[in-house]
Amino acid sequence: MQALLSMTALLLWHLLHHLSALSSASKCILQNDFEPGFMADGDFLIGGIFPLHYNQEMPDLNCTYKPGPVQCNGFDPRSFRWALTMKLAVEEINKRADLLPNYTLGYKIFDSCAYPLTGQRAAVAVLNGPNEKENPMCLGAGPLLAIIGESGSAQSIVVSRILQPFRIPLISYFSSCACLSNRREYPTFFRVIPSDDYQVKAITKLLMHFNWTWVGVVRGDHEYGRFALQGLLKELEDTGICVAYQEMIPLLYDHKRALEIIRVMSYSTARVVVVFSAEGELTPFLRDYMEQNVTGIQWIASEAWVTSSVFTGSEYYPFLGGTIGFGIRQGQIPGLMEYLMTVNPESYPSNTLVQELWGALYGCSSSTSGLNNHLPSCTGQETLREQHSAYMNTSSPRISYNVYKGVYAIAHSLHNLIHCSHGKGPFSNFTCANIHNVYPWQLQHYLQEVSFTISGETVNFDMKGDSIPSYDLINWQRGSAGNIEFVNVGMFDGAKESGQELVIQEKTIMWPGHQTEVLVSVCSNSCSPGFRKAVRRGQPLCCFDCVPCDSGKISNRTDSIDCMACSEDYWSNADGTLCIPKVVEFLTYDAMGLILTIIAVVGACLTLAVFAVFLYHRNTPIVRINNSELSFFILLSLTLCFLCALLFIGEPTSWSCLLRHTAFSITFSLCISCILGKTLVVLAAFTATRPGNNIMKWLGPTQQRIIIFSCTLVQLVICTAWLVVSPPFPNRNTKYQQSKIILDCSVGSDLAFWCVLGYIGLLACVCFFLAFLARKLPGNFNEAKYITFSMLIFCAVWLAFIPAYVSSPGKFTTAVEIFAILASSFGLLLCLFASKVYIILVKPEKNTKQHLMGKDK
């Protein structure tokens, strides 16, 4: 309780102390004065803030004496024209009978010196009465209803913050920072310029249009630059455009830093540079840039400097010609030219700004002025200085037109406010504003709703206070005098649906350095079809290598990220751009197939010829002694063996698959069985010559047939079982070689296949073994050594065949198989019959029993 009491006492004491301090100050005195540039009284007062100077000298604030007034340097005729446009618009409106009849608009125009601090001062000054010294007591509503201003976003932010507590609307003609669209922070801010949100969209579209995927960004050190860069980076996400570097020109211009930036620009592979900056910092920067003699850069200018007359001089052309960028749309201000002509030192004798204008335009000071005494007096003969000729060029006003629209927006809103019908008003209880005491917030309501047309264009504000987003695409081309001209080469209409916003007349564009082609600015060249992108580690996505697609995969677009695999029956072509049907491979009647066919047919014919010879000479001893019946059997089965090879040539069908191995194995079994029979007979015949051995009895022709038949039967049984249980079938083999489809016969059952071969092998081995036993037996007709030899060849051929067969499927395997068949058949044919045919045909004298019995030796 006591603590509370003592607290209250302390508070009271403080309060009293303050009151006495207040009463001791007798009256308010102005701390500093700040005169408006232009001023006119009216029923409704609006303010204007323009950067009439582009530079200011900071008063030194060492706090040992009262700081002097702000010193602004560098008169800017361009923004002076904006100010005059505001004056013109107000005067025009005051003359009109249909807009605000019976009321007049008054204005106060201040200079912000293109600096936030001075802008702030101008805003405070504008809030006071018509003149700071005649400050009326604040009775009722403030005298000021709205302000046209400011130019740079940084200044507008400051001014808008000051105006907020008084709810005074601020209409900007040049502040495009997206940050100003925030209604929570800037509730009374309006603008007649599109937000940079749209500009960065437009720039992104432009970059995409020309395939510039590798760009640098340079910006000034202010809100405008910062937010524009931020917006651009956001917009560039997912577009495949990468930013090679981001550089900032410092607020306090620094030559060394500028040279560093220029170095980065000239060494980077990004040839396109987007610049969010304004004349202020760009003028010294571009001067340094030109000194370094860097060329070959495609500048993309932001709206703040794309139509700036500062850079139109011919010295800029070699470096800046071809620059492209989005500018504020132009409009028509009737009578602006004539109005500007009326402004001269004679008609405004006491206005220092007009004197300065004269100094800037003609380089002389008029006799009536007290300042600019370092300039010669005007004679009246001076011509307009080239660098400021743009002041008089009112053919395509852009920012001036924005100012004009802004003033009209206020006038139309006021007009609507005045013509509010009682009982239907927008304010509480349907009241209207009191015309003699209009509050700025009431005007704000009408501003938000206003919509009117001016030279064919509708002006209104959206909920964020922004206006309709549309830009002209401007290209810097060479004028007749070697200077730079701004040529309209397209437009961007943000209100159109996406994809149709940007219209470019490409043919009319002039590129830097008189190039006819669009400059290329990419980090890596795009990957052609057949390749895919492989990002480089630690580098932006735009920098990549192109790697060819693996075989079996393709990419058919340029710049594809991935190669896609071809479907099962397709394979990539050599370039990796197309999936083509896989090559179907089988042994057909191509060169190899034909040769094999011919060999097989020749073999078969040869065998038949031997058959014929034997048949013709069947009664000669050599035929008879060698068991003619078996010989005929062998020859017939050999013919079949040769013909068997033909089954392996051509596309495998279910029938040829069934037949291939079975036919071959059966004919070969038959053949070898016969040879086996023959060997047995030879063996038996010699053993039989020994007394008491009656083996020949057991090897009569019938027995021989039975042996042959049963040996072949075994193979027949195996084959039948094979065909019944799991027959061979044609097969598309895609696994072995991925790029081909190999058509072959799957054996169905490996066991059966190897049984069949094994059985032939077994027969051959038995035959070989027996023949080997009989080889030493005497007699010229002894065939045993021939049989041994033939079986050796046979076994060698088939043993050699096994690894070839097991290793790789494909048409060559089939060829090898055929080759084995043919080789072994020829082996048998030659070994067994060549010598006999030779004797029969060439040496018939040896074809005698004596000779054959070896008794003629």
CB of 246 to ligand TRP, least distance (A): 17
Of the pair 113, 378, the CB lying nearest ligand TRP is at: 113
Instruction: Please report, in angstroms and rounded to a whole number, the separation of the first and last CA atoms in the chain.
Output: 158
CB of 157 to ligand TRP, least distance (A): 9
* Calculated CA dihedral for residues 728, 731, 736, 741, nearest 10 degrees: 150
Of the pair 177, 599, the CB lying nearest ligand TRP is at: 177
Q: Are β-strands 484-493 and 53-57 bridged in parallel, bridged antiparallel, or unpaired?
A: unpaired
CB of 220 to ligand TRP, least distance (A): 5
Q: Are β-strands 570-572 and 579-581 bridged in parallel, bridged antiparallel, or unpaired?
A: antiparallel
Alpha-carbon distance of 388 to 147, in angstroms, equals 27
Q: Is 153 in the site for ligand TRP (CB under 6 A)?
A: yes
Of the pair 49, 88, the CB lying nearest ligand TRP is at: 49
Alpha-carbon distance of 561 to 540, in angstroms, equals 15
Q: How many CB atoms lie within 10 A of CB 457?
A: 15
Q: Which of 231, 280, 322, 440 binds ligand TRP (CB under 6 A)?
A: 280
**Contact 169/146 with Cβ under 8 angstroms?**
yes
What is the C-alpha R_g of the chain?
53
CB of 145 to ligand TRP, least distance (A): 24
State the DSSP string of 147-201.
EE--SSHHHHHHHHHHHGGGT--EEESS---GGGG-TTT-TTEEESS--HHHHHH
Q: Is 220 in the site for ligand TRP (CB under 6 A)?
A: yes
Of the pair 306, 852, the CB lying nearest ligand TRP is at: 306
CB of 199 to ligand TRP, least distance (A): 9
Q: Is 810 in the site for ligand TRP (CB under 6 A)?
A: no
Give the x-and-dash track for 661-700 against ligand TRP (CB under 6 A): ----------------------------------------
Of the pair 176, 372, the CB lying nearest ligand TRP is at: 176
CB of 305 to ligand TRP, least distance (A): 8
Of the pair 82, 611, the CB lying nearest ligand TRP is at: 82
Q: Which stretch binds ligand TRP (CB under 6 A): 120-128, 145-153, 182-190, 460-468?
A: 145-153
CB of 111 to ligand TRP, least distance (A): 14
Q: Which stretch binds ligand TRP (CB under 6 A): 37-45, 139-147, 219-227, 626-634?
A: 219-227
State the DSSP string of 459-527.
EE--TTS----EEEEEEEEE-TTSSEEEEEEEEEETTSPTTSSEEE-GGG---GGG-SSPPP--SSPPP
Q: How many CB atoms lie within 10 A of CB 547?
A: 12
Q: The tokens of 300 are what?
A: 């993309």
- Taken as a whole, the chain contains a residue count of 857
Q: Is 304 in the site for ligand TRP (CB under 6 A)?
A: yes
**Helix, strand, coil % over all residues of the chain, rounded to 5:** 45, 15, 35
CB of 280 to ligand TRP, least distance (A): 5
Q: Is 631 in the site for ligand TRP (CB under 6 A)?
A: no
Residues 6+ apart with CB under 8 A from 436: none
Of the pair 492, 826, the CB lying nearest ligand TRP is at: 492
Of the pair 222, 617, the CB lying nearest ligand TRP is at: 222
The Cα-based distances of 354 to 342, 348, 457, 651 in angstroms read: 11, 7, 32, 100
Q: Is 175 in the site for ligand TRP (CB under 6 A)?
A: yes
CB of 281 to ligand TRP, least distance (A): 7
CB of 180 to ligand TRP, least distance (A): 8
Residues 6+ apart with CB under 8 A from 763: 669, 672, 673, 676, 711
Residues 6+ apart with CB under 8 A from 765: 791, 795
**Contact 109/37 with Cβ under 8 angstroms?**
yes
Q: The tokens of 615 are what?
A: 């048949």
Q: Which of 46, 90, 177, 409 binds ligand TRP (CB under 6 A)?
A: 177
Q: Is 820 in the site for ligand TRP (CB under 6 A)?
A: no
Q: Is 176 in the site for ligand TRP (CB under 6 A)?
A: yes
Q: Is 151 in the site for ligand TRP (CB under 6 A)?
A: yes
Alpha-carbon distance of 219 to 79, in angstroms, equals 22
Q: Is 224 in the site for ligand TRP (CB under 6 A)?
A: yes
CB of 189 to ligand TRP, least distance (A): 12
Q: Which residue has the tokens 């393709």?
A: 554
Can you say how many angstroms the Cα of residue 46 is from the centroid of all Cα atoms in its chain?
A: 51
Q: Which stretch binds ligand TRP (CB under 6 A): 116-124, 217-225, 378-386, 626-634?
A: 217-225
Alpha-carbon distance of 114 to 175, in angstroms, equals 12
- Which residues does residue 473 pair with via DSSP β-bridges, in sequence order? 326, 490
**C-alpha torsion sign, points 83, 84, 87, 92:** negative
Query: Total number of residues binding ligand TRP (CB under 6 A)?
Result: 14
CB of 330 to ligand TRP, least distance (A): 16
Q: Which residue has the tokens 């010229």?
A: 780
Q: Is 149 in the site for ligand TRP (CB under 6 A)?
A: no
Of the pair 174, 289, the CB lying nearest ligand TRP is at: 174
Give the x-and-dash track for 550-589 against ligand TRP (CB under 6 A): ----------------------------------------
- Which residues does residue 274 pair with via DSSP β-bridges, in sequence order? 217, 300
- Which residues does residue 493 pair with via DSSP β-bridges, in sequence order? 470
CB of 219 to ligand TRP, least distance (A): 9
Q: Which stretch binds ligand TRP (CB under 6 A): 148-156, 235-243, 509-517, 534-542?
A: 148-156
Give the x-and-dash track for 44-83 against ligand TRP (CB under 6 A): ----------------------------------------
Q: Is 321 in the site for ligand TRP (CB under 6 A)?
A: no
Q: Is 278 in the site for ligand TRP (CB under 6 A)?
A: yes
Of the pair 176, 607, the CB lying nearest ligand TRP is at: 176
Q: Is 174 in the site for ligand TRP (CB under 6 A)?
A: yes
Q: The tokens of 277 are what?
A: 């900056």
Alpha-carbon distance of 621 to 261, in angstroms, equals 111
CB of 311 to ligand TRP, least distance (A): 15
Of the pair 116, 677, the CB lying nearest ligand TRP is at: 116
Q: How many CB atoms lie within 10 A of CB 450?
A: 22
Q: Which stretch binds ligand TRP (CB under 6 A): 62-70, 151-159, 358-366, 457-465?
A: 151-159
CB of 53 to ligand TRP, least distance (A): 12
Residues that bind ligand TRP (CB under 6 A): 151-153, 174-177, 220, 222, 224, 278, 280, 303-304
